[in-house]
Amino acid sequence: MKTYLPIIGLEIHVELRTKSKMFCGCPADHFGKEPNTQTCPVCLGLPGALPVPNQQAIIWTLMIGQAFNATLNLESKFDRKHYFYPDLPKGYQISQYDEPLCSGGVVTLPEGVISLTRIHLEEDTGKLQHTTLNGQPVSLVDFNRSGVPLVEIVSEPQIHSAATAKTYAQTIRQIIHFLGVSDCDMEKGSMRLEANISLMSINPGSKPQTDPGFIRLPQYKVEVKNINSFRFLEKAINAEIQRQTAILDRGQLPRQETRGFTEVTGTTKSQRSKEAAKDYRYFPEPDIPPLKFTPSQFKTLIPQLPLMPQAYLDLFIKTYDLRPDYAQTLTASPKLAAKSLAAFILAQKQGLDPAALANLMINQKAITVKLSPSALVNLLQSKIKTSQPQSKTTTLMPLVREVLKQNPDLVTKYHQGKVSVIGALIGAVKKLSPSPVDPQTVQQLLTQALAQK
Amino acid sequence: MRLKHTTVISWSSLYFEIMLLDQSIHQISTLLRQKNLSSVELVTEAYQTIKEINPQINAFITLVEQNLALKQARNVDQNRVKFTSPLAGIPYLLKDSYVTQSLRTTAASAVLQNFIPPYSATVYHRLEDSGAILIGKMNMDAWGHGGSTENTDFKPTKNPYELSRVAGGSSGGPAAALACRLAAFAIGEDTGGSIRNPAAWTNTTGLKVTYGRVSRYGCIAYASSFDTVGPMAKTAADCALVLKAIAGQDPYDATSAVQPVPDYYQKLTQSLKGKTIGIPTDLYGDGLDEPIKTAILKQKKVFQALGLKLVELKMPLLRYGLAVYYLIGLSETSSNLARYDGLRFGQDRHFFTTETMRRIMIGTYALSAGYYDAYYRQAQKGRTLLIREYDQAFTHCDVLLMPVNPISPPKFGELIADPLTNIMADIYTVTQNPVGLPSLAVPCGFTPNQLPIGLQLVGQLFAEDLLLAIGHQYQQVTTWHLQKPQLL
Amino acid sequence: MSLKKRAIIDEKTVAYVRQLAALNLTPDQIKQFAPQLSTVLSYVAQIQELDTKQVPETHQVTYQTNVFRPDVIDTSRCLSQAQALENAPQTHHGYFVVKSIF
């Protein structure tokens, strides 16, 4: 039995949430609209129509590049990518070929760092729906989505497991979501995943060399499309690894092709019709003058990046003393993270423990989810006052910590074996608390806290 | 003049029997403003002439309904004060490569035989705003693919000077119609000579503008980085009035120029003293018909009399112009024509003519993997060399005097019989488009067989005002442009 | 023109390019096109005589850069569903209909 190292690269498409489309003034918000009600000569590819690029989309693509530490290219251009498909009205897609807006970049994962190849801007296609009309199989085409700005983020083939691929994709989603430039809604299709997968044979026992500079990539590559969730990404990659392993084990080479993931069967299926001939005949889009920037133009053009998820996590854990898992939960979305941060700042100002507030937000989500930061702080305050007696660890723990901080000598004595000092400490907590407290709970909490010291 | 429907008008207290549309736009516009003439009369004359002449030359693809045009004419007549443009109330023609809302637009191809656009080109809007009255969509080589208006799915346009000969192309329809005074002016489209070539072969005046000078929005693309929208008329002065109305930046065309639009008409009389005309002698050698060469070089004296200096120079690299033009132009056309799949509009791709299919095939080949560097990329580098060649020439002169066509209008079938002959006919008009330069074609003589000859004046980017001034002052002292076909 | 530079397009190449260009050529047309395209390409192959080692490409002659539009909805150009569909050969409930592509 041979062993194989999966070589995986991801292409992630993200629709930008600009008001208007990429090259015309039609509304970009296409989800759930009546078919073909948001088109114009440009995005319908009518004779004589010409594209004019949306500045906001360009700025946002550069912002994404900056968030991933990519190189923002001083010179860039749009190109035409040619293929025939009924959802592509002009017979070509305006995309970027050899001079993308951003090159390189990195995505930092717990498993390590994945390098990006490029980040470029293009236009989305229309949408196809397959059905039967008068007994004939047909495709219905809606061009509302045609021309919506689409950013493509391409990774190097540095991912070696389905799980890492999933984490990578989730991280990308989170960062872009925090930038506020896309809804990144997989269900609505505003984020789409494609995986390029191949397997490299490795000698059993030897340590696989995973540096792309040293490994020779397999002679084939299978592109998997139609992946509509992170879970399916993992499933599709695993299914593909299994399929390719079987082929390689038979001594054959998997065919280089595009395959679609089928949710029902959990397997991938060849999409030969999409392949006809992959000779895209890229050439510079003559209808759009090239892009040229200076570093100082980038500075004025690109707004300051908002706090990224990692920065929130660092703040929550290091500055506000949150449990790491709670910190994670509260950075699930940019809205929640920003609200939490605002609430923590406010809480601290009023002498309340942000960690306590975090506990409240998570344990009583149903009540707190819709509250503003100040309402949250008020709620916390009222909880402390009304608890008769105070027994909630969430509100007492800060007081306990405060008392330990104020009485270092007692703490030392406790650690030297004089366990009886605990009584004095309980008294101190009682004194500090605005409302009556349950001495037993306080004793428990003190013991706990002292054990950590 | 054989026309029966001449109109008697009072003009400078004299009475003339006159064909209204034979007058300059300035004259017509003055008469209209003074209410000595109505737009209704003008439009009526146009339709009468069209009825008589068009069956002989087949210049129209779609004739605007007369009632519709008359309605617009009445509107202009009744609201004269509102329309300040000299083009107000004046009938004009569009090459059928411009989309017009609710009016069939075909690009002379069966693919668009029944295409009714839901929007209009910017150039149409500008003329509509100025009060000009569109009366027809004109014949052309399908998609601009040709120089004879034989590659049309609506039967070739005939040369009014000799009906057995081609009118040139691709803007053959508008050129032939103007030669017959079927309207006051037309909007052509020039990708590699499509305005200048038919203008020269029909004894009319045509201006290929600087790339971007006029918006291409709504102009059915042939080769996007070459296509230009320009005026065709009887004289350079008329072209100046039309250009002023249509030029300028357009937010719907990212390649339209931001340069301010001068008053070309005012500048027609600018002093030409000290300006130099360059004559690239290598363009007057083999391949150029003797009568054409003689006719053009004879004009040197006329230009000198206008105060212009002459200098001879060489431009050897221009001989690569055809290759550059064909490779880039056809690459771009193979892309621009990819949208015609018959799904959203039009008929499917097998309705392309053989010539168009050949051009798509060559362009596709030049862009395809393995050939891109040798053909497309090399042509784009060759294009840079053409730009340098012209830059170099313009260090010696202000404008260049060149032939338009190497031959006189051929008989039907002669040109399209062989793809290579077809290509060679464009030799003098294809080098300006890759560089973006403006060029004015004006009548300058007739062959012994009484076929028109044109010359072209090529200028630097945005030098339309100088070209038109030279053309105008030349036409003040010559009469070639006043000649009309026997047909009239 | 030297023989070396003669671009010869055989019928196989014509058939391949035809597919890329989505043109339905008949076998007769393919046969016809092969020599015709060869003639034209042999002529334009003279471009290869040019020494372009140090020469950059020129893709367009606008001499402009960064021509953008603000992110504003422009309803003046939007088409109604009826307008969008009016030239289509087949439609169904607001959709364009095409032969199934699967």
Q: What is the pLDDT of residues A273-303, one digit of tens each?
A: 555 557 999 999 999 999 999 999 999 999 9
Instruction: Mark out chain B residues that contact chain A at CB-CB < 8 A.
Output: 98-99, 105, 107, 112, 115, 117-119, 121, 216-221, 223-225, 251-255, 331-332, 334-335, 337-341, 343-345, 364, 367-369, 372, 376
- Is residue A349 domain-shared with residue A267, that is, in the same domain? no
Report d(CA A447, CA A444) in Å as an integer.
Answer: 5
How many folded domains does chain C comprise? 1
- Is residue A297 domain-shared with residue A313, that is, in the same domain? no
The pLDDT score that the predictor gives to residue A429 is 85
The pLDDT score that the predictor gives to residue A421 is 87
A-chain CB neighbours of C19 within 8 Å are: 276-277
- Is residue A369 domain-shared with residue A397, that is, in the same domain? yes
Minimal Cβ distance to C87: which of B258, B345, B379: B345
**Per-residue pLDDT at A389 exceeds 60:** no
Q: Is A423 on the interface with B (CB under 8 A)?
A: no
**Per-residue pLDDT at A412 exceeds 70:** yes
The pLDDT score that the predictor gives to residue C2 is 41
Which structure tokens are listed for B478?
């010559």
CA distance B321 to chain A (A): 19
Interval A168-196 mean pLDDT: 95
- Is residue A340 domain-shared with residue A361, that is, in the same domain? yes
B-chain CB neighbours of C33 within 8 Å are: 357-358, 361
> What is the number of residues in chain A?
453
Minimal Cβ distance to A50: which of B217, B340, B367: B217
What separation in angstroms does the CA of A78 have from each of A92, A293, A453, B15, B248?
A: 12, 15, 60, 62, 24
Nearest CA in chain B to A282: B367
ipTM of the complex: 0.95
Minimal Cβ distance to A50: which of B254, B340, B341: B254
Write out the H or E segment, with its range, that includes residue A451: helix A439-452
**Per-residue pLDDT at B222 exceeds 80:** yes
Contacts of A7 (CB under 8 A, 6+ apart): A157, A160, A197, A198, A199, A200, A215, A217, A218
Q: Is A259 on the interface with B (CB under 8 A)?
A: no
- Is residue A241 domain-shared with residue A383, that is, in the same domain? no
Contact between C57 and B381 using a beta-carbon 8 Å cutoff: yes
Structure confidence at residue A1 as a pLDDT band (50, 70, 90):
low
Do residues B56 and B487 lie in contact, with contact meaning Cβ atoms separated by under 8 Å? yes
The pLDDT score that the predictor gives to residue B423 is 84
Contact between C77 and A77 using a beta-carbon 8 Å cutoff: no
Phi, psi at residue B442, to the nearest 5°? -130, 150
Minimal Cβ distance to B385: which of C40, C55, C88: C55
CA-closest candidate to residue B198, choices B213, B209, B208: B208
**Per-residue pLDDT at B458 exceeds 80:** yes
Residue C20 in any domain: the answer is yes
Contacts of A36 (CB under 8 A, 6+ apart): A142, A143, A144, C81, C84, C85, C94, C95, C96
Q: What is the pLDDT of residues B241-274, one digit of tens each?
A: 999 999 999 999 999 999 999 999 999 999 999 9
Say which amino acid occupies B303: F
What percent of chain A has a predicted confidence (pLDDT) above 90?
68
CA distance C69 to chain B (A): 8
What percent of chain B has a predicted confidence (pLDDT) above 90?
93
Q: pLDDT below 70 — which residues of chain C?
A: 1-7, 102
DSSP of B382-446: HHHHHHHHHHHHTTT-SEEEEES-SSPPPBTTTTTTSHHHHHHTTTTTSSHHHHT--EEEEEEEE
Which one of C36, C41, C55, C58 would you mutate to disrupt binding with B, by most B Cβ within 10 Å of its Cβ?
C58
pLDDT, averaged across chain A:
90
Nearest CA in chain A to C23: A84
Phi-psi region of A231 (alpha: psi -120 to 50; beta: other; left: phi over 0): alpha
Write down which chains contact chain A via at least 3 CB pairs under 8 A.
Answer: B, C
Contact between B368 and C86 using a beta-carbon 8 Å cutoff: no
The pLDDT score that the predictor gives to residue B10 is 46
- Is residue A148 domain-shared with residue A285, that is, in the same domain? yes
Which residue segment(s) compose the domain that A403 sits in?
Answer: 309-452
The pLDDT score that the predictor gives to residue A83 is 95
Minimal Cβ distance to A55: which of C70, C75, C98: C70
Which structure tokens are listed for B109?
């191809």
Residue C1 in any domain: the answer is yes
Most confident of A85-94, A348-357, B15-24: A85-94
Minimal Cβ distance to A82: which of B115, B335, B344: B335
Which structure tokens are listed for A210?
């995973």
- Is residue A327 domain-shared with residue A284, that is, in the same domain? no
Report d(CA B257, CA B248) in Å as an integer.
Answer: 7
Contact between B332 and A41 using a beta-carbon 8 Å cutoff: no
- Is residue A59 domain-shared with residue A143, that is, in the same domain? yes
Residue C58 in any domain: the answer is no
Q: What is the pLDDT of residues A347-384, one digit of tens each?
A: 988 888 899 899 889 988 878 888 899 999 988 888 87
Write out the H or E segment, with its range, that includes residue B232: strand B228-233
CA distance B141 to chain A (A): 16
DSSP of A334-397: HHHHHHHHHHHHHHHHTT--HHHHHHHHHHTHHHHTT--HHHHHHHHHHHHHH-SSB--HHHHH
Q: What is the pLDDT of residues B92-135, one digit of tens each?
A: 999 999 999 999 999 999 999 999 999 999 999 999 999 999 99
Residue C102 in any domain: the answer is no
CA distance A65 to chain B (A): 25
Nearest CA in chain C to A137: C100
Nearest CA in chain B to C84: B118
Q: Would you tell me which CATH number, out of the four given (3.40.50.150, 3.90.1580.10, 3.90.1300.10, 3.30.1370.100), belongs to the domain B7-482?
A: 3.90.1300.10
CA distance A23 to chain B (A): 10
Q: A123-137, A208-222, B314-328: which range is least confident on average?
A: A208-222
C-chain CB neighbours of B211 within 8 Å are: 60-62
Which residue segment(s) compose the domain that C9 sits in?
Answer: 1-50
Minimal Cβ distance to C79: which of A27, A39, A55: A39
Contact between C100 and A139 using a beta-carbon 8 Å cutoff: yes
Q: Is C46 on the interface with B (CB under 8 A)?
A: yes
pLDDT, averaged across chain B:
95
Contact between B387 and C61 using a beta-carbon 8 Å cutoff: yes
Active site residues of B: 95, 170, 194
Structure confidence at residue A219 as a pLDDT band (50, 70, 90):
confident
Contact between C67 and B361 using a beta-carbon 8 Å cutoff: no
Q: Where are the beta strands (DSSP E) in A228-302?
A: 257-262, 267-270, 283-284, 291-292
What separation in angstroms does the CA of A263 have from each of A283, B17, B155, B192, B269?
A: 37, 83, 56, 54, 76
* pTM score, whole prediction: 0.90
Report d(CA A394, CA B240) in Å as an integer.
Answer: 83
Nearest CA in chain A to B212: A287
CA distance C92 to chain B (A): 13
Interval A226-230 mean pLDDT: 91
Contact between B112 and A47 using a beta-carbon 8 Å cutoff: yes
Q: A47-56, A438-447, B179-188, B197-206: which range is least confident on average?
A: A438-447
The pLDDT score that the predictor gives to residue C54 is 95
Half-sphere exposure of B287 (CA within 13 A, CB side): 16
- Is residue A297 domain-shared with residue A439, that is, in the same domain? no
CA distance C83 to chain A (A): 9
**Per-residue pLDDT at B7 exceeds 80:** no
What percent of chain B has a predicted confidence (pLDDT) above 70?
97
Nearest CA in chain A to C64: A289
Contact between B362 and C61 using a beta-carbon 8 Å cutoff: no
Which structure tokens are listed for A230?
């992170």
A-chain CB neighbours of C61 within 8 Å are: none
The pLDDT score that the predictor gives to residue A432 is 80
The pLDDT score that the predictor gives to residue A396 is 81
- CATH number, domain at C10? 1.10.20
